[in-house]
Amino acid sequence: MLTIETNRYLARKLLSADVKIEEMKCLVGILLVSGYCQVSRRRMYWENASDSRNSLIASALSRDRFTLIYSNIHVADNLNLDTSDKFAKVRPLLKVLTMRFLEHCPHKENHSVDEAMVPYFGHHGCKQFIRGKPIRYGYKLWVGATSGGYIAWFEPYQGASTFTNAQYSQLGLGASVVLSYADQLATLGYGKNYHLFIDNFFTGLPLVHELTERGFRVTGTIRENRSGKCPLLSNKEAKTKERGFYDYRISDDIIICKWHDNSIVSVCSNAVGVDPVHKTERYSQQLKKKISVSQPHLIQQYNKNMGGVDLSDQNISSLRTSIRGKKWDMPLILHCIDMSVQNAWLLYRHNGGNIDLLNFRRRIANYIIDCNKQRERPGPSRSSSITSDSRYDGKEHYVSKQEKRTRCGLCHKQCPTRCVKCNIGVHVECFIMYHTKK
Q: What is the pLDDT of residues 400-427, one digit of tens each?
A: 999 888 999 888 899 999 888 888 899 9
Which residue ranges form the domains of the chain, and what is each CATH number? 2-81+324-365 (no CATH), 209-294 (no CATH), 379-436 (3.30.60)
Q: How much is the pLDDT for 375?
A: 62
Q: How much is the pLDDT for 163?
A: 73
Q: How much is the pLDDT for 113?
A: 96
Buried b (16+ CB within 10 A) or exposed e, 182-203: bebbeeeeeeeebbbbbbbbbb
Q: Residue 156 contacts by C-beta under 8 Å, 6 or more apart in sequence? A: 87, 94, 126, 139, 140, 141, 142, 162, 332
Q: Between residues 129 and 160, which one has the greater pLDDT?
A: 129
Beta bridge partners of 349: none
Closest by Cα among 233, 277, 282, 278 to 262: 282
SS (H, E, C) 412-431: CCEEEEEECCCCEECCCCCH
Q: How much is the pLDDT for 381?
A: 37
Instruction: Report the pLDDT averaged over residues 217-234.
Output: 89
Q: Containing H/E element for 255?
A: strand 254-260
Instruction: Report the pLDDT averaged over residues 230-259.
Output: 90
pLDDT averaged over every residue in the chain:
89
**Helix segments in 13-62, DSSP class H:** 21-33, 55-60
Given a cut of 70, whether residue 388 has pLDDT beyond it is: no
Instruction: Return the amino acid letter for 192.
Output: K
Q: How confident is the model at residue 276 (pLDDT cuts 50, 70, 90)?
A: very high
Given a cut of 90, whether residue 347 has pLDDT beyond it is: yes
Beta bridge partners of 153: 144
SS3 label, residue 218 = strand
Q: How much is the pLDDT for 383?
A: 39
Share of the chain above pLDDT 70, in %: 96
The rounded distance, in Å, linking the Cα atoms of 415 and 417 is 6
Q: How much is the pLDDT for 162?
A: 78
Given a cut of 50, whether residue 380 has pLDDT beyond it is: no
The rounded distance, in Å, linking the Cα atoms of 192 and 211 is 10
SS3 label, residue 273 = coil
Residue pair 45/332 in contact by the 8 Å Cβ criterion: no
The rounded distance, in Å, linking the Cα atoms of 8 and 1 is 11
Given a cut of 50, whether residue 85 has pLDDT beyond it is: yes
- Identify the burial level of 13 via C-beta atoms within 10 angstroms of its C-beta, where 0-12 means exposed, 13-18 middle and 19 or more buried: exposed
Q: How much is the pLDDT for 438?
A: 64
Digit-coded pLDDT (tens) for 3-58? 999 999 999 998 878 999 999 999 999 999 999 999 999 999 999 988 899 999 99
Given a cut of 50, whether residue 384 has pLDDT beyond it is: no
Q: What is the pTM of this model?
A: 0.85
